[in-house]
Amino acid sequence: MSKDHKVFLSEKDMPRQWYNLAADLPTPPQPPLGPDGNPIGPEMLAPVFPMNLIEQEVSTERWIDIPEGVLEMLYRWRPTPLHRAYHLEKALGTPARIYYKNESVSPAGSHKPNTAVAQAWYNKEFGIKKLTTETGAGQWGSALAFACSLVGIECKVYMVRVSFDQKPFRKMLMAAYGAECVASPSPETKAGQDILAKYPDTPGSLGIAISEAIEAAVTDPSGESRYSLGSVLNHVILHQTIIGQEVKKQLEIFGERTPDTIIGCAGGGSNFAGIAFPFVADKIHGADIDIIPVEPASCPTLTRAPFSYDHGDVACMTPLLPMYSLGHEFIPPPIHAGGLRYHGMSPLVSAAAVEGLLNPRSIHQLECYESAILFAKTEGILVAPETSHAVAATIQEAKKAKEEGKEKVIVFNLSGHGMMDLVGYDKFLNGELTDYALPEEEITKYTDPLKNFPQPSTAKSGKW
């Protein structure tokens, strides 16, 4: 049993396969639906994604090999360390043993490059010359810019306006990697023009930016552009599962058996699924693990939205996906955790929640910032505002363990650092932030129309 503060793995111990939860879910996941309400075929996605990634999207294989070319890129920073949070434990006086997986050591400062390098590599293999994408806080945009520069293809990023304005450094980082970044909604696409006409002062949202990026990809006359998504979809979730696989090996080196609690913040769901899904598999096979996705109280997808079919974007360009959704027209308040401002939730994460495998929780932003400051002053790392939700839930669980006198093992995903997200901290420290209690009618306004879509429980399950 290691008494170290952190455990590294060598490159030979890095996972060689991605884990696909679709193979293990008790009920097979339900398919995306086309405009006619019928399951879509993979070929319908071909204008948007390269076929090699579509194959991953629809796969029900349990394990999918990671190509050598992708490993080669992941080696630049992976495996990432798993830390024991001795100093936070001490500050809380908790009997819990707290561990955190440090994804902030990647060149882009978050977990996002795990899938960015894979997606860039598969697109390049397929002959694609340019990727378009959206970004919220900018972590995904800079990760894809980084990945595209490594494989040598172009990158264009539509960045949610509120983040574009608040976080100018992220767009400079994308530029340094050679990518182009514009504020969304932009006047460059029809989707952007429509929204700007309707809401000229909109802060933007991930849903809008996704519409713009998809439109830009599918309307490129060369046919050599595709779209890339940083979360939500099955193949993206898949690429993140190396996180949880590494955690298992590292917990073993620390001398721990099955952890009691796994925590990750959840916006689209990818960093949460990345750490959680290998443990969800254990839970399906009988392990007793509390698995907690944490979302902002102002964008409470898993905790307050219905499980429904909905579009992934505002302009309804994506197929209908079976997911918890606040409605594709819901525009979350401009909280600083931009990466969590998404109306939907990964269909795979949603399916796991429907199965009762997850224990979702929402937390208000002031508690999150306060928790993050305590974490910085004890463990030293200033986390991203998104990650602060995982820190807050971890502290809640550690306090509960203290009350109950239980020696719990809690693991959370430190999905990114906050070095480029300091405006939110500044406002918090200056007392300029408040919590926002989202009224029920603001939710039903956008979720009621979802009743007009086919309902997931009635849709045919099975093959695409």
**Residue 268 within binding range of its own copies, rule CB under 8 A:** no
Q: Which member of 195, 275, 340, 420 binds its own copies (CB under 8 A)?
A: 420
- Separation of alpha carbons 196 and 62, rounded Å: 43
| From candidates 46, 51, 176, 287, binder to its own copies by CB under 8 A | 176
Distances in Å between the Cα of 171 and the Cα atoms of 143, 146, 156, 236 are 11, 12, 11, 23
Among 381, 393, 411, 459, binds its own copies (CB under 8 A): 381
Q: How far is the CB of 356 from its own copies (least distance, A)?
A: 38
Q: How far is the CB of 117 from its own copies (least distance, A)?
A: 9
* Token representation of residue 345: 């939730």
Kindly indicate which of the ranges 42-50, 314-322, 421-429, 449-457 contains the residues binding its own copies, using the contact rule CB under 8 A.
Answer: 421-429
Name, in order, each residue with C-beta under 8 angstroms of 319's C-beta and a sequence gap of 6 or more: 32, 33, 34, 40, 44, 45, 311, 312
Q: What angle in degrees, to the nearest 10, is found between the helix axes of 270-284 and 242-253?
A: 60
For its own copies (CB under 8 A), the number of binding residues is 41
Q: Is 373 in the site for its own copies (CB under 8 A)?
A: yes
The helix (H) or strand (E) run that includes residue 388 is helix 385-404
Task: Find the part of the chain contacting its own copies (CB under 8 A) among 35-43, 289-297, 425-433, 452-460.
Answer: 425-433
Q: Does 366 bind its own copies (CB under 8 A)?
A: no
DSSP string, 203-251: ---HHHHHHHHHHHHHT-TTS-EEE--SSSSHHHHHHHTHHHHHHHHHH
CA 75 to chain centre: 21
Stretch that binds its own copies, among 1-9, 131-139, 403-411, 447-455 (CB under 8 A): 1-9
Cα gap 371→378, rounded to integer Å: 11
- Report if residue 46 touches its own copies, rule: CB under 8 A: no
d(C-alpha 73, C-alpha 89), whole Å: 35
Stretch that binds its own copies, among 45-53, 320-328, 330-338, 371-379 (CB under 8 A): 371-379
SS3 259: coil
Candidate ranges 42-50, 154-162, 197-205, 423-431; the one touching its own copies (CB under 8 A) = 423-431
The DSSP H or E segment spanning 308 is strand 307-311
Candidate residues 426, 455, 460, 463; the one interacting with its own copies per rule CB under 8 A: 426
Binder to its own copies among 90, 190, 377, 460 (CB under 8 A)? Answer: 377
Task: Report the distance separating Cα 247 and Cα 243, nearest Å.
Answer: 6
C-alpha–C-alpha distance, residues 200 and 170, integer Å: 24
218 is an interface residue for its own copies by CB under 8 A:
no
- For position 425 contacting its own copies by CB under 8 A, the verdict is yes
Residues between 134 and 173 that touch its own copies (CB under 8 A): 146, 149-150, 169, 172-173
Site of interaction with its own copies (CB under 8 A):
4-6, 8, 10-12, 75-77, 83, 87, 105, 107, 109, 146, 149-150, 169, 172-173, 175-178, 373, 376-382, 418-420, 422-423, 425-426, 429
